[in-house]
Amino acid sequence: MELKQVAEISQCLSNTVRLQILEWLKNPEANFPANTSGLSNKDGVCVTFINDKSGLSQSTISTYLKNMESCGLLKNKRIGKWTYFLRNEETIQAYTDYLK
């Protein structure tokens, strides 16, 4: 992992809401209702559910998720008009390994 990406991830995690989203997505089936798309929550959580749980505006959550995706913490899947997010465990592991 390059130092630039470590800095981007560290900056992203300095926001408590983004950190909380990452924590919620660690155990999505316990933290969110079942997806109506037939997709398991382990395969991604709908942005709407993340937004509802956070209590923040849709635009704020969309910005947070975009930031988390751009630094590599999250991956997304698009199904129809819906976007689903899940943790990028490979990047998270590389980040924690770097910090050790």
pLDDT of residue 91: 97
User: What's the domain range around 49?
Assistant: 3-99
Count of C-beta atoms within a 10 Å radius of residue 91: 17
Q: What are the pLDDT digits (tens) for 36-67?
A: 777 777 789 999 999 999 999 999 999 999 99
Q: What are the pLDDT digits (tens) for 64-97?
A: 999 999 999 999 999 888 899 999 999 999 999 9
Q: Look up the CATH number of the domain holding residue 60.
A: 1.10.10.10
Q: How many domains does the chain have?
A: 1
Report the pLDDT averaged over residues 3-17: 95
- pTM, 2 dp: 0.90
